[in-house]
Structure 1
Amino acid sequence: MKKNKLTMAVVAGIAGVAGMANAAQYVNPEGHGQVLIYPYYSVNNGLNTLYSVVNTTADTKAVKVRFLEGENTLEVLDFNVYLSAYDVWTGALGPFTSTIAGHVGEPSGVHVSSDTSCAPFLNKAGQEFLPYTIDEDDATGNTSMRRSTDGHFEVLEMATFIGPTIGWADHGATGVPANCGAIQADWDDNNFYDTADEDLVTGGLFGSASIVNVAEGLAMTYDAIAIDEFWTGGVGSHSEPGSLLPSLAQGDLEAIVFQNGAAVSSTFLSGAEAVSALFTKQAIYNEYALDSIVNGKTEWVITFPTKNFHVDEVVSAIPPFVNTWNGSASCHEFQLTMWDREEQEETVSTGGVSPRPPAGENPQLCLEVNVVEFILPGGVAGAESSIMGSDNLVTVTTPSIAHATENGWARMEFNDDDGTAYVTSAIAGADYVGLPVVGFAAQQFSNGGAGAGLLAQYAGLFVHKGRVVSQ
């Protein structure tokens, strides 16, 4: 798909980059691309997560939809979807109790869809999350499907088509693919798509998700983050349904990062490091609101979407991460400074965070998806967060010296306790300081005084702002 000429001209002019026709992968500010990253899902606390994937092009596309648990980014469900021209795929996640041997009775999740688009082998009426990669994780005793109840997910375009697959996937006037069975039958005999009518990846995907609390009448929505030019030269990888491939590690080795209005190109040793560079922030910023009169709550979702490639099944962690996954944790320190709305400042000490870090160390984020809950001074940290119901939880207490303790903003910086920076190192171009992070702040309010006999519920979701630092 051809990019907007004006946009690319501006990028080329700012960056002084020649030959943008062979552009490296980048986060597309226009919101569409070849890969979509959805920073969070949850089926805890009675929540459902609804999502969509939209094909804005005239091409028929094969996409991989993959759900990843929140501790070590291990796959709990994936499947192929074949989108016809201008098609939309939708699905939903809900709470479930595992029925799989070795996990019977454990909290889990289930995927359902009423969409007619072709998704070979998928039980659209209700496919529960699967434990097989969790069962292979390192630590005995940390294999519960509870790990799958929150996490993040991704969509990767694998191919477009120039032959029979176009007609098989097309919905026509009926609204139903003409021959999804033919696509499934092709995969049924071996791990190769024998029809072999694949063509280059063209991008043009966008998506969104909604985290819905049906019981309380709340919905929080966000747009998926789009990576464009992910595949080198548009050559994708059309894998069979259920395959762990393709992955974010297979992308172009060159990444374009936007910093202070300029596009900077760097080349990395691996595709995973290139994707990490796209999301690396030295610091993130967001607000908190805990107005007691409306039972205010705030949680920050902090997701490291590429962490697994850096810390799992490696002898030593691959930068910018420095600690390998030990079966239950891979911890990295942060510093959190808060300001209330009247300029009062406080840096979180060991006494203001739970779980409390060892003496002399900064607080830590130890999982792939982390939920940071803000509570007022004197508040008690729970075992699960109050909005998302997550036990991947760090709790912080807001400033005790503030004039307006209930509201403010915070800056989270990613540095080791001795001040050493986490760095994603390039083999050519700029290195990036910090950790690859995506996420948002979620806020919820309940107004019992909205009117006689009325309870008004409100919620909002605010994407993190960040600081990009290169060296």
Structure 2
Amino acid sequence: MKFKLTLTLLLTSCLSHSAMLNNNGTGEFHIIPLYSTSNNLYSTVTISQIPVDGWRGTAVKIHVKPSLNSEPILSYNVYLTPNDKWSFAVGSQTVGGVRKLIHSSFDNSCTPEFEAVAWENGETDRDISDLTFGYIEVIEMGQFEFNESNPDGVFPIVDYLGNFDCQDIDNAFQTDGVFDSDSTYTNHGLLPANNSLSVESSLINVPEGVQYTVPVTTFSNFFPDDEAFHTRPNSNLPTLNEAKPESLIWLDGMATNLTFENGIDAINALLLKSSLKTPFITFDGIAAATGISLTMPTWAFNENSSQGPSCDAQHTYTFKTRTIDREGKSNPDNSSTHALCGNTTLINLKTERSLFGEVNEQDISPSNNHEGIFAIEFTDVMTITGTDEATDKQYALSGLPVIGVTFNKATNANAAPGLLAQYGVSQAINGRMNISVIDTDKE
């Protein structure tokens, strides 16, 4: 067993130049699969810079993307010094009858051309209810030498007293600055990304005192080697489309490096699932409720996607659901067909007790079953082809590139005064893709 584990670690190390999901949490491209701002919810995010190769800082891009459209409602840059952190929250407020969606942070890391942001009805091309939930991307665009020898003199951003001095970075984006360019990427003084970021996120219901951890999907070795992908603060780039066209997939119990036609397929391969199963509980006696988020971060790059602020049958993937009780019996009365829509779909399993309270969530409340397993089967799947670099063997991978998270809440109505009475738990939903061999001949 020890030999097998050691061999696996060695093989993984040798193949580590490929994009891979990293359960350790450090990487180059991070997806927070849900932010939600209705029903008194606030989403919080903390980004930590982890020095990897010398005393270097990191240039970070943050995209906040709504549920129905892949165009970010906010994109900005943050420049983190070694061991620095950047924390922010996204929530909503109603002032004078007008609901506002708010981004806020009290950190002082360098964020050029960025100010506190609030969106409200009438300020966008659609009602704000389409913006109140979605997902967030945190991207390591590149690293920089954190000292005076930096070739452009931009990144010594802490003065001799340890205070942030961001003026040089601000100036770099002004006219005739080193980042004032018509080029897509402005990489002056930037080194390639090197898996130096760790990201954590939570959903908090402040009035009820409930906090849910949001599992973050992290890709290591995401970008092609020896290249930075640094853009202006208001740029919607980089995206998942910049991924290298190869990924590390577990096949027959072994780490296998597969190459794909493009980077999006490499990321799809890491996320594909043909079905999902997750525990649920909706007992009235403890005011229990279950909510599920299903996020497809590659939605905009797949053929069956819609970039508009609405969904219809022509631009959706369908899925079937059923419930399984505690004795393992499937309830046929709870079988139904539904549609995924846009980047993020929310499912509520208790009509009168929604965790999210979003206008566009789907109500799939099981009848005659208040605890068990909620099963999802994707009926419109995609199939992509990957080639084993070592053997030239081809594999067909099918499923949908979905990140699923379950949120459960319960209340102890008999708790003594002063004791915690609200409970919230969350967990990532695991699933498997379908894999078949296309060509078994070794060339």
Separation in 2 of the partners of 1:7 and 1:111?
45
Q: How is 1:315-326 mapped onto 2 (pairs within 5 angstroms)?
A: 317=303, 322=304, 324-325=306-307
What is the count of residue pairs matched by the alignment?
Answer: 411
Q: Which residue number in structure 2 is paired with residue 39 of structure 1?
A: 33
Separation in 1 of the partners of 2:226 and 2:208?
45
Cα distance per residue 1:252-281 (max 9 Å; x no partner): 011222356322332222222221221111
- Partner SS state of residue 277, structure 1: helix
Is 1:339 the equivalent of 2:317? Answer: no
> Structure 1 residues 165, 263: CA separation in 2 closer, same or farther (over 3 Å shift)?
farther
Q: Which residue number in structure 1 is paired with residue 423 of structure 2?
A: 458
Is 1:83 the equivalent of 2:48? Answer: no
Cα distance per residue 1:340-391 (max 9 Å; x no partner): 1122212466xx65xxxxxxxx32122311111113xxxxx46xx7111222
* CA displacement at 1:29 relative to structure 2: 2.3
Aligned partner letter, 2:340: L
Q: Which residue number in structure 1 is paired with residue 391 of structure 2?
A: none
Q: How is 1:166-245 mapped onto 2 (pairs within 5 angstroms)?
A: 167-170=155-158, 173-174=161-162, 176-177=163-164, 179-189=165-175, 193=179, 196-245=188-237
Separation in 2 of the partners of 1:409 and 1:368?
24
Separation in 1 of the partners of 2:377 and 2:225?
36
Q: Which residue number in structure 2 is paired with residue 411 of structure 1?
A: 375
* CA displacement at 1:133 relative to structure 2: 12
Separation in 1 of the partners of 2:41 and 2:299?
25
Q: Which residue number in structure 2 is paired with residue 328 of structure 1?
A: 310
Task: State whether residues 39 and 355 of structure 2, in contact with CA within 8 Å, keep that contact through their aligned partners in structure 1.
Answer: yes
Aligned partner letter, 2:267: V
- Partner SS state of residue 451, structure 1: coil
1:121 counterpart (102, 113, 133):
113
Is 1:92 the equivalent of 2:89? Answer: yes
1:363 counterpart (338, 362, 370):
338
Which has a greater percent of helix?
1
Task: State whether residues 297 and 343 of structure 2, in contact with CA within 8 Å, keep that contact through their aligned partners in structure 1.
Answer: yes
Separation in 2 of the partners of 1:425 and 1:107?
46
Q: How is 1:123-162 mapped onto 2 (pairs within 5 angstroms)?
A: 123=115, 126-129=116-119, 135=125, 143-162=126-145
* CA displacement at 1:113 relative to structure 2: 0.6
Separation in 2 of the partners of 1:8 and 1:83?
35
2:44 counterpart (46, 50, 55):
50
Query: TM-score with structure 2 length normalisation?
Result: 0.84
* CA displacement at 1:75 relative to structure 2: 0.5
> Structure 1 residues 53, 348: CA separation in 2 closer, same or farther (over 3 Å shift)?
farther
Separation in 2 of the partners of 1:348 and 1:273?
37
Separation in 1 of the partners of 2:141 and 2:418?
53
* CA displacement at 1:406 relative to structure 2: 1.6
Separation in 2 of the partners of 1:92 and 1:227?
23
* CA displacement at 1:145 relative to structure 2: 2.3
Which has a greater percent of strand?
2
Identity of aligned residues (%): 24
- Partner SS state of residue 75, structure 1: coil
Q: Which residue number in structure 1 is paired with residue 440 of structure 2?
A: none
Cα distance per residue 1:230-253 (max 9 Å; x no partner): 111141211010101111101101
Q: Which residue number in structure 2 is paired with residue 313 of structure 1?
A: none
Cα distance per residue 1:277-318 (max 9 Å; x no partner): 2111111221101121110000111111110122xxxxxx2x
> Structure 1 residues 327, 76: CA separation in 2 closer, same or farther (over 3 Å shift)?
closer
Query: TM-score with structure 1 length normalisation?
Result: 0.79
Query: Structure 1: which 5+ runs fail to align?
Result: 1-5, 99-103, 136-142, 311-316, 354-361, 376-380
* CA displacement at 1:132 relative to structure 2: 12
Query: Structure 2: which 5+ runs fail to align?
Result: 181-186, 389-393, 437-443
- Partner SS state of residue 131, structure 2: helix
User: After the TM superposition, which of the residue ranges 196-205 and 147-156 deviates more from structure 2?
Assistant: 196-205
- Partner SS state of residue 431, structure 1: strand
Is 1:389 the equivalent of 2:357? Answer: yes
Q: Which residue number in structure 2 is paired with residue 378 of structure 1?
A: none
Q: Which residue number in structure 1 is paired with residue 441 of structure 2?
A: none
1:433 counterpart (394, 398, 403):
398
* CA displacement at 1:200 relative to structure 2: 1.7
Task: State whether residues 60 and 139 of structure 2, in contact with CA within 8 Å, keep that contact through their aligned partners in structure 1.
Answer: yes
Separation in 2 of the partners of 1:64 and 1:7?
36
* CA displacement at 1:116 relative to structure 2: 1.2
Separation in 2 of the partners of 1:282 and 1:190?
51
Task: State whether residues 78 and 111 of structure 2, in contact with CA within 8 Å, keep that contact through their aligned partners in structure 1.
Answer: yes
* CA displacement at 1:455 relative to structure 2: 7.4
User: After the TM superposition, which of the residue ranges 160-169 and 109-118 deviates more from structure 2?
Assistant: 160-169
> Structure 1 residues 347, 122: CA separation in 2 closer, same or farther (over 3 Å shift)?
farther
> Structure 1 residues 9, 348: CA separation in 2 closer, same or farther (over 3 Å shift)?
farther
Is 1:289 the equivalent of 2:281? Answer: yes
Q: Which residue number in structure 2 is paired with residue 140 of structure 1?
A: none
Cα distance per residue 1:379-407 (max 9 Å; x no partner): xx46xx7111222322223253xxxx221
> Structure 1 residues 80, 12: CA separation in 2 closer, same or farther (over 3 Å shift)?
same
Q: Which residue number in structure 1 is paired with residue 241 of structure 2?
A: 249
Q: Which residue number in structure 2 is paired with residue 314 of structure 1?
A: none
Aligned partner letter, 1:64: K
1:444 counterpart (388, 409, 412):
409
Separation in 2 of the partners of 1:284 and 1:166?
48
Separation in 2 of the partners of 1:36 and 1:214?
26
- Partner SS state of residue 68, structure 2: coil
Aligned partner letter, 1:20: L
RMSD between superposed Cα atoms in Å = 3.0
